[in-house]
Amino acid sequence: MSGQAAGLAAQQRALLALLKGRPVPAGQDPYLDLVRGSRGLTMLQMITTWWRRFDLERLAPLTSRALARAGRFEDALARLGRDPDTPGAISALAMYFLEQHVEDADPLIAAVASTERALTLVARGDRSRHEVRWDRDPAPVLSALLAGQRPGPAAPGDFSVIVSRGLAGAPE
């Protein structure tokens, strides 16, 4: 089938590259040159980023907000746009995004992403017990993010957030 569809395949690969902002030689295919300069391509790129932002702000609100407060959310969105492994499915996109930040160099972002990843897994039915280590009191940080505010200073120390389907205090 792939050989039979060689011309179509080449055009689709070139359009993918244009959409993702990857290099496509100019002056070799008039149609691709037309697409390159079209407002439709610009609009598609804009819409794709807009949807990705909308989905992540909805499905991974804590980490999206933490990154936004750190001035890094736009970079994260741009990186997802370029990444060939970024999933197309919304639910898979949120988990992929969270997993990209669980080992973030910023310990606050890493803790928020790890906590939100655990919450997302448990909300989807995961029955595991997740423990996320924090280097500061997580309560004011998570409260501020939930309220859409910049997290203020939090008391430093070793803290753990436990996420599981069990009720707080109940034997597991």
Partner 1 sequence: MQSKAVPVGQPAIGVTYEGGNPALLDRLVEVADYLEVAPDLIATGTGDGRGIRREILDEWRATAEKVEIVAHGVGLSIGSASGWNEAYLRLLDELADAVPLRWHSEHLGYTTVDGEPLGTMLSLPRTEEALELVCERVIRLQERYPAPFLLENIARMLPDPDGDYDEAGFVNELCKRTGCGLVLDVYNLQCDAHNHGFDIDRFLDALDFGAVRELHVAGGTEIEGMKLDVHSREVQPATVALAARAAAAAPAVWGATYEVLPEAVPVLGHDVIVNEVTRLRAALS
The residue ranges that bind partner 1 (CB under 8 A) are: 1-2, 4-9, 11-13, 15-16, 19, 31, 34-35, 38-41, 43-44, 46-48, 51-52, 54, 58, 81, 84-92, 95-96, 124-125
Residue 6 beta carbon to partner 1: minimum distance, rounded to whole angstroms: 8
Amino acid at 157: G
How many Cβ atoms are within 10 Å of 58's Cβ, its own excluded? 11
Which residue number, 16 or 162, has a Cβ lying nearer to partner 1?
16
Which residue number, 25 or 37, has a Cβ lying nearer to partner 1?
37
Which residue number, 89 or 139, has a Cβ lying nearer to partner 1?
89
Residue 167 beta carbon to partner 1: minimum distance, rounded to whole angstroms: 20
Own/partner long-range contacts of 64-68 (Cβ < 8 Å, ≥24 apart): 65/145, 65/148, 66/108, 66/109, 66/112, 66/113, 66/145, 66/151, 67/101, 67/109
Among candidates 128, 81, 121, which has minimal Cα distance to 99? 121
